[in-house]
Amino acid sequence: MRAVIFESAGTLVVAERPEPTAGHKEVVVEVAAVGICGTDIHVFDGEFEGTIFPLVPGHEATGIIVAIGEGVTHVAVGDHVAVNPSTTCGECEFCLNGKNNLCRLWNGLGVVESDGAAQQRFTAPAANVFKLRPETDLYQAALIEPIACAIRAYDILPRKMGEHYLIYGSGTMGLLMAQLAPRAGAASVTIVDINEERLKTAREVGVQHVYTSAGQSDREKWDVVIDCTGSIRAIEDALPRVKAGGTFQHFGVAPVDAMANYSPFRVYRDEISIVGTMAVLNSFGRAVEMFEAGAIISEPMISHSFTLEDYPQALAMFRAGSGRKLQIRPNDSESRDLSA
């Protein structure tokens, strides 16, 4: 069986690995698709807190169950599933208080120390697999994990109906946050990105106001400003654009030791709320429901698929900001430009 392996920070190989087996309350999933996201870049570069190498990456996965272990009752061989990559200890203060996404032993499959889905088949906890309808497109459904992260972000926003949203970044997360904003009560949605190609996708999925700079908008301040880039430059541009009494949300993943400058006086004087959001919390099942209900226009978002052997090319393309959502399809024999 073939797999991508991050051997150490900045080093990867594609190699043969033993076939996985399903232990107690585990399943083996044959991978249909696994998305590449900014977190994978941070992991590969050694910038994500807690990563232990070697590691098989890949945390936005869908596939078909090919084996089940003892004690698995809610899914069966042949089921189409999406996989929640977050696992926690279940015993610490945060897990016991219902904030398990803040578990100090939080372990994302393909992110920290458990192997992910950039391989032909992988083992997942049965509790982390969510059954899909047979007719649901497994390739498009690989967006369910990022949708679950977006839903978590909206869960913790102190939002009200009729507010105006500004979103930095027209990558996958920015596009998902923008598409969900009207359902969360937004009166208008503005998205900014310096990449014109990505802004084209924003228009295709129905975002109302699209700019290369927030300064191009007629509006000077927004009720809710969300950074989906993790870029310090973007964050420092975004915070001053929050209206008095508004909210700024850190969604994008910045390098662990990165620092941003802002005005504490402005936060104090304008009663600005600053909130973070971490992964998934009781939102994966809702993400399945929302995806299958058609809440997201997904097809324009996925532009290329790659084989395992072409994983380095996919990483390079992601870093260059080319294409839209990039997927690895481990059991495909050729890479494809899906936008052609």
pLDDT at 65 over 80: yes
Structure tokens at 146: 């990022």
pLDDT at 340 over 80: no
Structure tokens at 227: 């950074």
β-strand partners of 2: 16
pTM for this entry:
0.95
pLDDT, tens digit (0-9, with 9 covering 90-100), for 79-119: 999 999 999 999 999 999 999 999 999 999 999 999 999 99
Side-chain half-sphere CA neighbours of 60 within 13 A: 28
Angle, CA of 155, 159 and 164, to the nearest 5° = 125
- Give the C-alpha separation, 288 to 294, whole Å: 10
pLDDT, tens digit (0-9, with 9 covering 90-100), for 25-41: 999 999 999 999 989 99
- Per-residue pLDDT at 94: 97
- Per-residue pLDDT at 256: 84
> Domain extents for the chain?
2-138+298-337, 150-276
Overall size of the chain counted in residues: 340
pLDDT, tens digit (0-9, with 9 covering 90-100), for 125-170: 999 999 999 999 999 999 999 999 999 999 999 989 999 999 999 9
Structure tokens at 270: 């304008």
- Per-residue pLDDT at 56: 98
pLDDT, tens digit (0-9, with 9 covering 90-100), for 110-119: 999 999 999 9
- Separation of CA 6 from chain center: 19
Q: Average pLDDT of the chain?
A: 96
Is the CB of residue 83 less than 8 Å from the CB of residue 121? Answer: no
- Per-residue pLDDT at 336: 97
* CB-CB neighbours of 137 under 10 Å: 16
pLDDT, tens digit (0-9, with 9 covering 90-100), for 273-307: 999 999 999 999 999 999 999 999 999 999 999 99
pLDDT at 77 over 90: yes
- Per-residue pLDDT at 177: 98
β-strand partners of 248: 225, 274
Mean pLDDT of 67-72: 98
- b vs e for 160-169, b when ≥16 Cβ sit within 10 Å of the residue's Cβ? eeebbbbbbb
pLDDT at 339 over 90: no
Q: Tell me which architecture the domain covering 2-138+298-337 has in CATH.
A: Alpha-Beta Complex (3.90)
Q: Tell me which architecture the domain covering 150-276 has in CATH.
A: 3-Layer(aba) Sandwich (3.40)
Angle, CA of 104, 318 and 123, to the nearest 5° = 50
pLDDT, tens digit (0-9, with 9 covering 90-100), for 167-216: 999 999 999 999 999 999 999 999 999 999 899 999 999 999 999 999 99
pLDDT at 328 over 80: yes
Q: Hunting for tokens 């807690």 — which residue is that? A: 50
Domains 2-138+298-337 and 150-276 are alike in CATH topology: no
Q: Nearest Cα to 284, choosing from 141, 140, 104? A: 141
- Give the C-alpha separation, 4 to 43, whole Å: 13
Side-chain half-sphere CA neighbours of 49 within 13 A: 10
- Separation of CA 314 from chain center: 16
pLDDT, tens digit (0-9, with 9 covering 90-100), for 212-268: 999 999 999 999 999 999 999 999 999 999 999 999 999 999 888 899 999 999 999
